């Protein structure tokens, strides 16, 4: 208490020093990054038709949002001018949060707290950071010199499968390839995107609606890393044989550089927020963010959707009617951090995990849920190994960075079907389209989304036929596969409805392995305490001693589209 009293007194005395003395003190005091929030926007107004792109105005009408509200109004110029006069630099001005980010010394921050209109001043500690971009597993840090090797026959098969399993042929036959939607991509850079033949079709029809580098503050995003080029491939890239690598080649795109390779700075979270406000103004319907912030900045318990700036920014973007799709992360096999990062931790962010194309099961590197508080993450999954465009050609890459845009493309096509669907209603429908739904776990979420489930509309749900039974004895409960489910051919198409057109892709290329059995134990609150995936090789597939079931909990099982639970009273 004595220390706090003396510290307050010292800061107060420093605030009263002459300007020259304060300047001298600032020379020796280190600057830190601060977040300054203001009390009001009194006197500020906005002309929505002048500020927002017509696509943004149309999105707000579809989402039944006002043309503008106070979060869209500019920050008061007098408040901003006073902060600028006292700080080393203002690095961000946020309309959404009525706040600025700045670098300042402790003495300067103390003076800012006393300014009229300032509500709060928070310090953001600076620490050594690791790269934020979720591409740790794609390739070595220094790519080999020269052009990539030509794609192998297996690579060409994967290029077709990565969209075929998501219903590409069905969407294409319905004329749904993202037309009329605008997708913002936040990434580390888009090197070679504007010259790569994979995207020539976008530039021919002027589908790149806007670009901006929020680090260099220039419209040029075509330098820096090529991770954004690879991510954009999984939305709209095209091979020389006209195979599309993503589901939304008909959409328009906003390309934002928010990251820099080799460091994970708070400046990058600020850039994410600035890009989200820019995307809102420029009419984005969907934001794809294959980015994440984890252990060098936060503790796992802070992955609560409220602590980080980017989680709060993502939640605000959803309030503005945009769907935010984010990669789960590549820390699943990291013993020090296995969970999803941020902004993937936000409740209203559609978080996407990675599946192995050979097994359709969770890839070991894909980050696990739950988010803090036992909240469901990831929400959905898609292939975490994909074929993408890279400078000079095409390559096979891996990471949840690529599962995310594959699902974002699915969302664009699905939203195109029902353009007026509110964003969180779309979110719910996308989860319900997962092939595991209503089953989920902390590795797969609800699984791979299916066109058939989304296209079913609001009609009566068709209940799946039971595929197994629970048989309880005195000390255990067993799961027995029903005979009619056990004789389904080993190689089938359980992830797509039989009526979905797949003529463009040979059946052998999209066939999945024998359907596994998913099971879990849940406690009385619904938290999953254990979950596994089993290969079904016999009808008596699982036996669980009753003493292992949590008090008041349940055993939940999913097999071939059917989910059922056994409860302990």
What's the CA gap between 349 and 497, in Å, rounded?
A: 27
* Cα dihedral 473, 474, 476, 477 sign: positive
Selected residue with higher pLDDT from 48 and 13: 48
Active-site entry in 227, 362, 444, 558: 227
Secondary structure class of 243 (helix, strand, coil): coil
Active-site entry in 187, 331, 345, 441: 187
187 tagged catalytic: yes
Mean pLDDT value of segment 285-307: 92
558 tagged catalytic: no
What's the CA gap between 351 and 290, in Å, rounded?
A: 10
pLDDT at 26: 41
Residues 432-490: pLDDT tens digits? 999 999 999 999 999 999 998 776 555 556 788 999 999 998 899 999 999 998 865 54
- Confidence band (pLDDT; 50, 70, 90) for 310? very high
What's the CA gap between 36 and 284, in Å, rounded?
A: 27
Nearest to 357 by CA among 366, 370, 368, 345: 366
Nearest to 376 by CA among 406, 346, 402: 346
Least confident of 225-229, 259-263, 371-375, 550-554: 259-263
- Confidence band (pLDDT; 50, 70, 90) for 144? very low
135 tagged catalytic: no
- Confidence band (pLDDT; 50, 70, 90) for 497? very low
Residues 27-58: pLDDT tens digits? 456 788 999 999 999 999 999 999 999 999 99
DSSP 3-state percent helix, strand, coil across the chain (nearest 5): 30, 25, 45
Residues 145-198: pLDDT tens digits? 467 889 999 999 999 999 999 999 999 999 999 999 999 999 999 999 999 999
- pLDDT mean across residues, the chain: 87
Active-site entry in 233, 401, 404, 512: 401
DSSP 8-state class, residue 72: G
Angle, alpha carbons 52-57-59 (nearest 5°): 125
Query: Which among 85-89, 138-142, 444-448 has the top mean pLDDT?
Result: 444-448
Mean pLDDT value of segment 51-68: 98
Pairing, β 350-355 against β 323-327: parallel
Report whether pLDDT(76) > 80.
yes
Angle, alpha carbons 150-252-177 (nearest 5°): 70
pLDDT at 496: 37
Least confident of 128-137, 230-239, 491-500: 491-500
pLDDT at 262: 56
pLDDT at 198: 98
Radius of gyration in angstroms for the set of CA atoms belonging to the chain, rounded to a whole number: 26
CATH 3.20.20.70 fits 153-455, yes or no: no
Question: Is 287 within 8 Å of 184 (Cβ atoms)?
Answer: yes
In the chain, residues under CATH classification 3.40.50.200 are 153-455
- Confidence band (pLDDT; 50, 70, 90) for 109? very high
What's the CA gap between 436 and 433, in Å, rounded?
A: 8
Selected residue with higher pLDDT from 260 and 491: 260
pLDDT at 13: 32
Mean pLDDT value of segment 115-139: 65
Report whether pLDDT(422) > 80.
yes
Decide: residue 53, CB within 10 A, 0-12 exposed, 13-18 middle, 19+ buried.
middle
pLDDT at 483: 93
| DSSP H/E element including 337 | none
């Amino acid at each position: 208490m004595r220390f706090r009293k003396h510290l307050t007194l010292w800061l107060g005395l420093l605030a009263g020093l002459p300007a020259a003395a304060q300047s001298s003190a600032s020379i020796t005091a280190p600057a830190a990054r601060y977040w300054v929030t203001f009390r009001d926007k009194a006197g500020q107004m906005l002309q929505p038709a002048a500020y927002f792109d017509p696509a943004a105005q149309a999105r707000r009408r579809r989402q039944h949002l006002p043309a503008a509200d106070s979060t869209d109004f500019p920050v008061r110029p007098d408040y901003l001018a006073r902060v600028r006069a006292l700080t080393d630099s203002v690095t961000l001005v946020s309309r959404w949060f009525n706040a600025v980010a700045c670098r300042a010394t402790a003495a300067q921050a103390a003076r800012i707290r006393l300014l009229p209109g300032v509500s709060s001043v928070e310090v953001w500690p600076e620490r050594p950071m690791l790269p934020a971009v979720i591409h740790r597993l794609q390739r070595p840090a220094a790519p080999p010199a020269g052009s990539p090797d030509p794609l192998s026959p297996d690579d060409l098969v994967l290029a077709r499968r990565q969209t075929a399993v998501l219903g590409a042929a069905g969407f294409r036959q319905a004329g749904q390839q993202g037309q009329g939607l605008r997708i913002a991509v936040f990434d580390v850079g888009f090197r070679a995107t504007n010259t790569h033949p994979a995207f020539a079709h976008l530039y021919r029809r002027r589908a790149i609606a806007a670009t901006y580098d929020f680090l260099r503050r220039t419209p040029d995003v075509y330098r820096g890393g090529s991770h954004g080029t690879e991510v954009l491939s999984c939305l709209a890239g095209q091979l020389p044989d006209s195979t599309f690598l993503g589901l939304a080649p008909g959409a328009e795109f906003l390309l934002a550089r928010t990251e820099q390779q080799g460091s994970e700075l708070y400046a990058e979270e600020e850039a994410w927020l600035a890009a989200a406000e820019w995307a809102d103004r420029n009419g984005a319907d969907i934001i794809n963010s294959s980015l994440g912030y984890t252990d060098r900045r936060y503790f796992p318990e802070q992955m609560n959707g409220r602590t980080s700036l980017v989680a709060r920014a993502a939640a605000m973007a959803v309030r503005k009617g945009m769907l935010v799709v984010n990669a789960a992360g590549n820390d699943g096999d990291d013993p020090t951090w296995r969970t999803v990062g941020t902004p993937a931790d936000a409740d209203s962010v559609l978080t996407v995990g990675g599946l192995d194309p050979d097994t359709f099961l969770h890839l070991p590197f894909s980050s696990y849920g739950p988010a803090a508080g036992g909240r469901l993450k990831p929400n959905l999954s898609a292939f975490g190994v994909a074929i993408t465009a890279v400078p000079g050609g095409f390559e096979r890459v891996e990471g949840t960075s690529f599962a995310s845009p594959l699902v974002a493309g699915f969302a664009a096509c699905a939203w195109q079907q029902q353009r007026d669907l509110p964003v969180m209603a779309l979110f719910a429908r996308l989860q319900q389209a997962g092939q595991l739904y209503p089953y989920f776990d902390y590795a797969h979420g609800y699984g791979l989304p299916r066109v058939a489930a989304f296209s079913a509309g609001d009609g009566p749900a068709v209940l799946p036929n039971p595929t197994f039974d629970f048989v309880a004895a005195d000390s255990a409960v067993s799961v027995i596969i029903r005979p009619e489910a056990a004789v389904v051919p080993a190689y089938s198409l359980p992830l797509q409805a039989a009526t979905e057109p797949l003529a463009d892709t040979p059946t052998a290329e999209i066939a999945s392995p024998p359907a596994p059995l998913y099971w879990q134990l849940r406690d009385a609150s619904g938290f999953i305490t254990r979950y596994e995936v089993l290969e079904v090789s016999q009808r008596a597939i699982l036996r669980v001693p009753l003493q292992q079931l949590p008090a008041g909990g349940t055993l939940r099982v999913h097999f071939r589209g059917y989910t059922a639970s056994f409860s302990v009273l």
